[in-house]
């Protein structure tokens, strides 16, 4: 049976406190000042502000942990720094515990820490929650060995993610090579509304339970996160299509988000599906390859987003999207680019599978070591 000690028995815990705002600066005067998760990088914080009258300090190599939403994010301090009330600094007693072991332990307890957060607007945890966090009471050598294994698997995961990112960058570089940068191409322009039929979806009444008991995919804009769309979260029935504003869009349709942060998130349907009214659905006419359109729009997305309008929520309208102009390219070149995308996709699948296996291993190790 595993024995445990409390975090306060193996770490000094220093809760942050925000200094007087008059002492903040961006000129490098004083010590680095970190307020919360927004200052964190992958493993080490990024200095954006300094402070000349610090209140609470963290030492180099301390573990910085976010204690306000989002709770649980962590970085290592690289130098002496001031910490605001959104952070706490943990100083492991290296005669009792490995700092890396504590780092991975708290990563594994992220959900637990968030569940203990309190507050109506922003959840937060106090000193007591950290102090009473349980740490497996195993010898130092075992802690170091566990940490080394976790670090190795985590590095594999990060490398796989970087490989996926590089493959995405390769596709976009190939697009620019073949067609130039469409953001600056002002020749052979066509309006999106001229490319094909562009229609918004609709939402069946939720008062009719039977409308959401079918097997027809029904997407919201927040689900448009990949070139080819996986199954939707919700599904609707044939009755819903017949008796509501919902419409059926054919396989190969390009779905485009219109509202707020989902504006111009996109995905291609892999089977006949439906969507809510926050999605525009483009069914192109002959002469347009749907994969080429996806990447064309994705590269031009920053320009499109400038046209969002609204006070509380900035949206695009169907009519506005129809008026957007994009450069046309010969269909043969579009097809050539799409073939390159499909070939690259095979490499991505192999990398994605390797990533998923590494993630499963990491999760099982975290469960084994920390429960």
3-class SS of residue 310: coil
Q: Does 258 score more than 90 pLDDT? A: yes
pLDDT at 301 over 90: yes
- Classify 225 as helix, strand or coil: coil
Query: Above 90 in pLDDT, residue 303?
Result: yes
State mean pLDDT over 363-367.
95
Which of 3.40.640.10, 3.40.50.1970, 3.90.220.20, 2.60.120.10 would CATH assign to domain 189-328? 3.90.220.20
Whether pTM exceeds 0.75: yes
Give the DSSP letter of residue 254: E
Distance CA 41, CA 35 (A): 13
The residue-averaged pLDDT of 356-370 equals 95
Q: Report the SS3 class of residue 122.
A: coil
* DSSP per-residue codes, 51-109: ESS-SSEE-TTPEEEE-BSSTT-EEE-SS-EEE-TTEEEEEE-TTT--HHHHHHHHHHT
Residue 1 has pLDDT above 90, yes or no: no
Pairing of strands 216-219, 274-275: parallel
β strands within 302-367, DSSP E = 325-327
CA dihedral of 181, 338, 298, 225, whole degrees rounded to 10: -160
- Using left for φ > 0, alpha for ψ between -120 and 50, and beta otherwise, residue 119 falls in left
Nearest-angstrom CA–CA distance, 123 and 116 = 9
With beta carbons less than 8 A apart as the criterion, state whether 151 and 365 touch. no
Contact, 198 vs 247, CB < 8 A? no
122 has pLDDT over 90: no
Neighbouring C-beta atoms of residue 200, cutoff 10 Å = 18
User: What are 202-240's pLDDT values in tens digits?
Assistant: 999 999 999 999 999 999 999 999 999 999 999 999 999
CA distance 359 to 232: 23
CATH of 4-137, one of 3.40.50.150, 1.10.390.10, 3.90.220.20, 3.40.50.1370: 3.90.220.20
Radius of gyration of the chain from its Cα atoms, rounded to whole angstroms: 26
According to the model, what pLDDT value does residue 181 have? 95
pLDDT of the residue at 187: 87
CB neighbour list of residue 8: distance below 8 Å, 6 or more residues apart:
130, 131, 132
Closest by CA position to 91, among listed 66, 59, 134: 59
Which tokens go with 68? 């306000």
Q: Reply yes or no on whether the pLDDT at 101 is more than 90.
A: yes
pLDDT at 66: 97
Same fold flag, 4-137 and 189-328: yes
Q: What is the pLDDT of residue 198?
A: 97
CB 71 within 8 A of CB 124: yes
The mean predicted confidence, pLDDT, of the chain is 96
pLDDT at position 312 is 87
pLDDT(363) > 80: yes
Q: What value does the mean pLDDT take over residues 233-251?
A: 96
Residue 68: the pLDDT is 94
Whether residue 371 has pLDDT greater than 80 = no
Specify the higher pLDDT residue, 121 or 159: 159
Look at strands 81-83 and 31-34 and give their pairing: parallel
Count other C-beta atoms under 10 Å from residue 29's C-beta.
11
Dihedral of alpha carbons 114, 119, 125, 129, sign: negative
Percent pLDDT > 70 in the chain is 100
Given this model, what pLDDT does residue 275 score?
Answer: 97
Is the model's pLDDT at 120 over the cut of 90?
no
pLDDT value of position 257: 97
Give residue 239's pLDDT: 96
Per-residue pLDDT reduced to its tens digit, 5-53: 999 999 999 999 999 999 999 999 999 999 999 999 999 999 999 999 9
pLDDT of residue 121: 82
Q: 299 has which bridge partners?
A: none
> pLDDT, tens digit, for every residue of 151-189?
999 999 999 999 999 999 999 999 999 999 999 988 899
Bridge pairing between strands 325-327 and 254-257: unpaired
pLDDT of residue 356: 97
pLDDT of residue 2: 83
Percent of the chain past pLDDT 90, that is, above it, reads 96
Average pLDDT rounded to a whole number, residues 318-339: 97
> Where along the chain do its domains lie?
4-137, 189-328
């Amino acid at each position: 049976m595993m024995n445990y000690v409390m975090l306060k028995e193996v770490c000094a815990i220093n809760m942050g406190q925000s200094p007087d705002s008059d002492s903040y600066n961006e000129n490098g005067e004083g010590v680095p000042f970190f307020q919360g998760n927004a200052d964190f990088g992958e493993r080490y914080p990024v200095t954006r502000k300094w402070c000349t009258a610090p209140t609470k300090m963290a030492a180099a190599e301390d573990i910085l942990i976010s204690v306000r939403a989002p709770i649980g994010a962590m970085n290592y301090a690289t130098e002496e720094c001031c910490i605001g009330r959104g952070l706490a600094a943990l100083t492991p007693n290296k005669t009792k515990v490995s700092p890396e072991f504590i780092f991975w332990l708290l990563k594994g307890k992220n959900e637990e820490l968030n569940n203990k957060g309190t507050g109506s607007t922003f959840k937060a945890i106090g000193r007591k929650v950290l102090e009473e966090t349980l740490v497996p009471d195993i010898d130092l050598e075992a802690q170091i060995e566990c940490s080394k294994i976790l670090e190795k698997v985590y590095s594999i995961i990060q490398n796989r993610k970087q490989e996926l990112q590089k493959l995405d960058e390769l596709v976009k570089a190939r697009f620019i090579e073949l067609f130039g940068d469409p953001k600056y191409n002002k020749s052979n322009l066509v309006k999106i509304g001229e490319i094909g039929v562009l229609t918004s979806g609709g939402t069946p009444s939720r008062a009719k339970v039977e409308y959401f008991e079918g097997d027809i995919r029904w997407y919201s804009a927040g689900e448009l996160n990949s070139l080819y769309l996986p199954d939707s979260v919700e599904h609707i029935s044939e009755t819903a299509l017949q008796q509501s504003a919902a419409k059926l869009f054919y396989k190969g349709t390009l779905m485009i988000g219109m509202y707020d942060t989902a504006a111009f998130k996109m995905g291609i349907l892999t089977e006949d599906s439906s969507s809510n009214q926050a999605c525009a659905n483009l069914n192109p006419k002959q002469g347009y390859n749907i994969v080429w359109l996806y990447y064309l729009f994705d590269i031009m997305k920053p320009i499109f987003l400038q046209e969002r309008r609204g006070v509380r929520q900035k949206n695009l309208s169907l009519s506005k999207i129809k008026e957007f102009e994009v450069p046309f390219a010969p269909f043969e070149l579009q097809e050539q680019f799409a073939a390159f995308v499909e070939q690259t996709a095979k490499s991505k699948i192999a990398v994605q599978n390797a990533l998923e296996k590494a993630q499963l291993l990491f999760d099982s190790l975290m469960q084994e070591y920390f429960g």
